[in-house]
Amino acid sequence: MDVLVCLKRVPLAGGTLILTPDSRDIETKHLGFGISPHEENAVEAGVQLVEQMGGTLTLLTLGPSDAEEQLRSQLAIGATRAVLIETDGQEWDPQGTAAALVDAINAEETKFDLIIFGAESADSAGYQIHIRVAHALNRPIITNVKSMKVENGVAVCDRVVAAGREHYEVALPAIVTVRDGLNIPRYPSVPGRMQARKKPVDMKKAEPRVPKLEKVTLALAPSKAKGAEVLGNGADAVPALVEVLKKIGAF
Amino acid sequence: MILVLVDHDRGELDQLSLRALTAARKLGQDVEAIVIGKEGAALAGIVGEYGAKVLHVATHANLTDYTPMASGRALKDLVEKLKPAAVLAAGSPRGNEQLAHLAAFLDLPMAAECSEITLGSPHHVLRARWAGNLIESANVHADLLIASVLAFSTEPESANGGAATVAEFEPALEPQDYAVKVLSRDAGESKGGVTLVDAKVIVSGGRGVGGPEGFGQIEELASLLGGTVGCSRVVTSSGWRPHAEQVGQTGTKVAPDLYIAAGISGAMQHIAGMKNSKTIVVINTDPEAPILSYADYAIIGDLHQVIPALTSAIRQAKG
């Protein structure tokens, strides 16, 4: 079983975001970098599948050359090798990104049985790259998967909806996007980190395209911050809260 | 003309789609709607009330349940016939997904989670990023604008319109369009009753609850207020509560009338999922916790004392 997981390097923003002077990006001078939360689950799922069934796990990302750091840290979890499509450092629009991923996947000798994405990126959240890749590769896709089993060439997946759980089955080769909660991502072991340094990371280049979804500027969302009215301390404040709940008609 | 995808689950209307219809009306053109599957035809009344003149109903033997690629194909067939200026849908996981299939079929750009849309050449949108903490100003270079409407950015407003005229059509589906479909469905982790999305009251617990057993008091308060239980990410990743209860960017985004956050400090991704709640009450030992700046009311104190006292006070007040 050969699995491919697609990742994106994103800044690890804590409480408050700060923009660069040209308002086109987040100021990352004082931030570390990681991958999106759902993508940690994607890598864990890939590692588990290869542990159970044998085969290879390849990681693929598009980003600056520094994204090698994120690939190495996920190689330490147990992936086999990685491919980095190096950009000019600018953010690419979803169509340009998807096209470059498709070219890189088609250039691989391995025909991946399963391609896994995280359900959404932490930063741009365009909700489309995985679907564009599925169309270009002519593969079925199931999104927002919360549990997955692969048996006899079929992926059995559940997604959580308001009404409960929906069950899906799809024959491989296929694409899935996974959500936080699919599994509990493991931490890299010390030997894992040592091995990751020697694992192959193929560097590729791709030419940027003129973006059709063109970012002009970013702005901080107007804070809905209200600043709470503090009703008091501990259980003594409960009567005041009961009055508030009565006033808003909570009971 | 603006075409709006009105989403439904086996005939049950997705409420966010009414907001998408409202946003579409603000673009100053005629609005028409599309539903996927013949059960959607029953929505002609409400869709008309919210301003759509025509309800296009995509019917096909293989359109029996949610099949997003088939939705994309049906949208593509209708778009090619009607040539609308824009196709909108709710900025929900399903709305975004079905629009993305349309965009992939047509190889056109798509702007997800838009809070403002201006048609033009190019089109211009404001769209949410970073869980709504950043707003991107973007140009969309395409004749047809494909965009989803950020959940909760537009209040649903009735246009007092009469029922929409129903126009059925059969999209030219390919077998791969319905290769992925729902096989079955069960109640899963949800215990029936009120779901997070529909709840008017949510009582959420975080790290401060201390463990799975601490959620007994949260459940009790939630049921007393006719609401349901939510939680933060740390709670589900510690295995204290099921993931179905997680509120936040990586869980469920909610906007109930009352949101009580107990023992939750307020990570950015949690705030993103609940900041649109009408009234937010925080119970926390730390007066500096970030969630306080989003709250309407706060009690500084230990939830293990405050919640039982609150529960018995509400019982008393109810008589």
Q: Between B205 and B10, whose confidence is greater?
A: B205
Whether A235 and B301 lie within 8 Å, measured CB to CB: yes
Closest to B148 in 3D by CA, of B100, B107, B105: B100
Phi, psi of B114 (to 5 degrees): -90, 135
Mean pLDDT, residues B57-62 taken together: 96
Whether A234 and B300 lie within 8 Å, measured CB to CB: yes
Q: Is the pLDDT of residue A89 over 80?
A: yes
pLDDT tens for each residue of B108-122 = 999 999 999 999 999
Q: What is the pLDDT of residue B49?
A: 98
Phi, psi of B123 (to 5 degrees): -70, 155
Q: Is the pLDDT of residue B278 over 70?
A: yes
For residue A244, the chain B residues in CB contact (below 8 A) are: 279, 281, 297
Mean pLDDT, residues B140-166 taken together: 94
pLDDT tens for each residue of A157-199 = 999 876 778 999 999 999 999 998 899 899 999 999 999 999 9
Percent of chain B surpassing pLDDT 70: 98
Instruction: Measure A221 CA to nearest chain B CA, in Å.
Output: 5
Cα atoms in the Cβ-side hemisphere of radius 13 Å centred on A233: 3
Residue of A nearest to B121 (CA): A212
List the alpha helices (DSSP H) in chain A: 37-53, 68-75, 94-107, 129-137, 190-198, 238-247
Q: How far is CA B49 from CA A208, B157, B162, B166, in A?
A: 46, 9, 6, 14
DSSP conformation letters of B39-101:
GGGGGHHHHHHTTEEEEEEE--TT-SS--HHHHHHHHHHHHHHH--SEEEEEESHHHHHHHHH
Mean pLDDT, residues B103-107 taken together: 98
For residue B268, the chain A residues in CB contact (below 8 A) are: 13-15
Mean pLDDT, residues B57-86 taken together: 96
Instruction: Measure A44 CA to nearest chain B CA, in Å.
Output: 14
Domain ranges of chain A: 2-221
Residue A26 is classified by DSSP as B
Phi, psi of B310 (to 5 degrees): -65, -45
Q: What is the pLDDT of residue B191?
A: 52
Residue of A nearest to B222 (CA): A250
Whether B100 and A131 lie within 8 Å, measured CB to CB: yes
Q: What is the pLDDT of residue A15?
A: 64
List the alpha helices (DSSP H) in chain B: 16-25, 44-49, 68-82, 93-106, 215-224, 233-237, 268-274, 303-318
Residues B53, B166: Cα–Cα separation, whole Å = 9
Q: Is the pLDDT of residue A226 over 90?
A: no
Domains of chain B: 2-178 (3.40.50.620), 201-318 (3.40.50.1220)
| Residue A164 parent element (H or E) | strand A164-171
For residue B264, the chain A residues in CB contact (below 8 A) are: none
Phi, psi of B161 (to 5 degrees): -80, 155
pLDDT tens for each residue of A93-120 = 999 999 999 999 999 999 999 999 999 9
Q: What is the pLDDT of residue A44?
A: 98
Closest to A240 in 3D by CA, of B310, B291, B226, B303: B310
B194 in Cβ contact with B227 (< 8 Å): yes
The CATH classification number of A2-221 equals: 3.40.50.620
Amino acid occupying residue B125:
V
Q: What is the pLDDT of residue B193?
A: 59
Q: What is the pLDDT of residue A231?
A: 96
Q: Is the pLDDT of residue B40 over 60?
A: yes
Whether A160 and B113 lie within 8 Å, measured CB to CB: no
Percent of chain B surpassing pLDDT 90: 80
Confidence of residue A217 (pLDDT cuts 50, 70, 90): very high
pTM recorded for the entire structure: 0.88
Q: Is the pLDDT of residue B190 over 80?
A: no
Residues B108, B112: Cα–Cα separation, whole Å = 13
Q: Is the pLDDT of residue B70 over 60?
A: yes
Best interface-test mutation with A: which of B16, B76, B180 has the largest number of A CBs within 10 A? B180
Whether B138 and A215 lie within 8 Å, measured CB to CB: yes
